[in-house]
Amino acid sequence: MKDISRRALLKGIFATSVVVGFDMAGRSWVTKASAAETFAELPPLDGTLTTDPAALAAVADDFGHIIHRTPVAVLRPGSVEDVVKVVRFARANNIRVAGRGKGHTAFGQSQAQAGVVIDMTALNQIRSVGPDRAVVDAGVVWRDLLLTTVPLGLTPPVLTDYTRLTVAGTLSVGGVSGRSYVHGAQVDNVLELQVVTGEGELVTCSEAENRSLFEAALAGLGLCAVIVRATIRLIPARERAQTQRFFYPDAPSMLADLRLLIGAERFDHIRGMSVPTPAGFAFFLEGTSFYTSPAELPSNPTAGLHFIPGSQQTEEMTYFEYTDLVVKLIDSLNEAGLGGFPHPWLDLFVPGSKIDDFASRTVAALDPATFLPGSLILFYPFRKSRLTRPMLRTPDEEVFFLFDILRTVPHEAVDSVLAENRRLYEENRDLGGRFYTISAVPLGTHDWQKHFQPFWGKLVSEKRRRDPDNVLGPGPGVFA
């Protein structure tokens, strides 16, 4: 057993195997049995720090199954103070640190080669739920928060389609969905954060207090601070969800109706989708209304739409069942053995003026053979005026789209798909687009500088102030 437990240490249990410090010369953890003459003593912890090979291997992977970086230890914090202590210890001993939720990224963003990974799922307490807000620990899973709030008639305004992710995990990248065209991203609905900076300081921040840190932490990839607690806005939740589905002959006709629906705000959640079929890619649009009384449903949901006549479908379920659809889908894919295949996902924010041509050409060139079951393409519409957090970089047009190519692929296809992702990333960048940072795209420091412009200077300044020794955020390679 290689867990570091202060309680066990004090009782003398497993006294020869617990880690008691870090040997700077050997760059390795020190146990009671192997203690060097001189080493940095580990502070007492409420949780555990483990060097168990199975634990290290688990966090040397992510949903993408493409990048594999092995840390030297995994912290399972028993308290926020554990995060503070380990970040301070890591800084003093030149060890990189990465926070990790469910690891639902595609390219090693939550990994830390030869560093410490903090398993934030250990901090999972819902602290309070009020009429307009919830205070939650970083590792609370959105689905678990919904299980608490929905019976109270409350919900976060924006939920990612897959809700079995941690609060801090999605807030570290942005958190977007088909509700974002109305409510912005999840990061736009955060009232306050508690974070641990790279100096090991526990800081409360909001728009009114330590605003520069607040803005650097939201969608900030853990570069300046690790989110340990969040206060999230809540709104009334309706009891049911009705989804209208409309089919189209091509991407431009579907996108035209998405634009119409952006202006009409007819539905609470809208998205376009495309799936491979034997006859090519099929395109359809889903508009979902949340309601308790039928009087709350749109009176004429199809007004002005130009879908294929007779293709309309309607689906009814409870509100929670709707939020749980992708959870059930992912579970079924895992049960079918597809979860272990690579997922080189590509997520691009494309200007509204360029999306029709860009999406049409891109989809036409895709090889359906690289789409294993469960793969699909998504189109989410946005209004830039609804987004307020500078680290979530998006195109400089009021209307733009998130164009997601979500592929599960055979192992032998990974290299060619990554090359294609890089080419599409560059093409979209040259059109004035940006990319969503969960993607599998090989990037260098110069790419990141371009991505974060014109916020790059402020980010560098906040990084120097809050993490001067570059302890945090090793996974993306922004500050390599």
CATH architecture of the region 3-121: 2-Layer Sandwich (3.30)
Would you give per-residue pLDDT tens digits along the chain (480 residues)? 345 443 332 232 223 335 667 776 676 777 655 555 556 788 899 999 999 999 999 999 999 999 999 999 999 999 999 999 999 999 999 999 999 999 999 999 999 999 999 999 999 999 999 999 999 999 999 999 999 999 999 999 999 999 999 999 999 999 999 999 999 999 999 999 999 999 999 999 999 999 999 999 999 999 999 999 999 999 999 999 999 999 999 999 999 999 999 999 999 999 999 999 888 899 999 999 999 999 999 999 999 999 999 999 999 999 999 999 999 999 999 999 999 999 999 999 999 999 999 999 999 999 887 899 999 999 999 999 999 999 999 999 999 999 999 999 999 999 999 999 999 999 999 999 999 999 999 999 999 999 999 999 999 999 999 999 999 999 999 998
pLDDT of residue 39: 61
- Say how far apart CA 191 and CA 211 lie, in whole Å: 11
Give, to the nearest 10 degrees, the angle between helix 355-365 and helix 251-264.
140
What is the CATH code of the structural domain delimited by 126-236+457-466? Answer: 3.30.465.10
Q: Tell me the residue type at 369.
A: A
Reported pTM: 0.93
pLDDT of residue 10: 29
Would you tell me how many other CB atoms lie within 10 Å of the CB of residue 185?
28
pLDDT of residue 38: 55
pLDDT of residue 42: 85
The structural domains of the chain, with segments of one domain joined by +, span 3-121, 126-236+457-466, 240-443
Alpha carbon 25 to chain centroid distance? 36
What is the CATH code of the structural domain delimited by 240-443? Answer: 3.40.462.10
